[in-house]
Amino acid sequence: MNNNNNNNNNNNTLSNNSIEREREVRRKRRERESFNKIVFYNTEYLKHHHRFTTVSLTSFFLFLFQQILSNARMSLCRSTTSLSQFTSRGGLRRPPARSTSSRRTVRTHIEMASNANAGGGTENAYVLLTLEYVPNMLEKRGPYREEHINGAKKAFEEGACAMAGALTDPVDTGVFVFKNVDKDYVENFVRNDAYYKAGLVPTYTIRPWMVVVGN
């Protein structure tokens, strides 16, 4: 019995497809006949009532172009409708949308000067890094503080970090002074910092620092 039902469904589908194709053929035939009639009547009209001047020919071809464009738009609309119906019936399946990461977007302000030594005549070029901490940093930094300090010590031993520390009252900002390094070095330092990876640094800034006294 199920086989009979499946056969009947298949026959109905084939019959519907045949009807749709026949309707489409007849519709296109009617469009061609209508278009040929329009061309014929307009040509006869120009022959008997107007001279074939430049203006008449221009108007005639403009009219033809408008008719062709109108037919093209109609065909495009039908194609779009058919595709929508085909998609709604399950003929096409859209790929699942990719889920966006829920991680908080970190806003980065980078203002690097084109010439770190411009106007200063200094021996060393300094870069100032400030890390803006989340509220209640003292309570949240515990599990990550040792790794954070070790990263700063490593940069100091490499000669890249001159000094580092935190602003107090309140403890809401970390300050690092780098010397004779480029922007990429500081960016990489931030990306590998324990506080940053833990989400405790929502914002940071990297700016060149022109030291006038004490360099």
Each residue of 110-145: b (16+ CB within 10 Å) or e?
Answer: eeeeeebeeebeeeebbbbbbbebbeebeebbeebe
Give the predicted TM-score (pTM) of the model: 0.44
Whether residue 111 sits in one domain with residue 69: no
- The answer to whether residue 99 sits within a structural domain is no
HSE (side-chain half, CA atoms, 13 Å) at 163: 2
Tell me what pLDDT residue 84 has. Answer: 63
Domain range for 113:
107-209
- The C-alpha torsion from 123 through 128 and 129 to 130, rounded to 10°, is 160
**pLDDT per residue of the chain (215 residues) written in tens, 0 to 9:** 555 555 566 666 667 777 888 888 888 888 888 777 776 766 666 666 555 455 566 777 777 777 788 777 777 777 676 666 655 555 555 555 554 443 443 343 334 444 444 444 447 899 999 999 999 999 999 999 999 999 999 999 999 999 999 999 999 999 999 999 999 999 999 999 999 999 999 999 999 999 888 86
Whether residue 114 sits in one domain with residue 198: yes
- The answer to whether residue 102 sits within a structural domain is no
- The answer to whether residue 101 sits within a structural domain is no
- Sort residue 214 into left (φ over 0), alpha (ψ -120 to 50) or beta: left
Whether residue 119 sits in one domain with residue 62: no
Rounded Cα distance between 128 and 178, Å, is 6
* CATH at 199: 3.30.70.1060
Whether residue 79 sits in one domain with residue 130: no
Whether residue 170 sits in one domain with residue 134: yes
Tell me what pLDDT residue 101 has. Answer: 42
Amino acid making up residue 178: F
Whether residue 111 sits in one domain with residue 67: no
- The answer to whether residue 53 sits within a structural domain is yes
Whether residue 140 sits in one domain with residue 77: no
Cβ atoms of 86 and 20 closer than 8 Å:
no
Whether residue 119 sits in one domain with residue 83: no
Whether residue 111 sits in one domain with residue 204: yes
Whether residue 81 sits in one domain with residue 147: no
- The answer to whether residue 26 sits within a structural domain is yes
- The answer to whether residue 98 sits within a structural domain is no
Amino acid making up residue 1: M
Tell me what pLDDT residue 137 has. Answer: 94
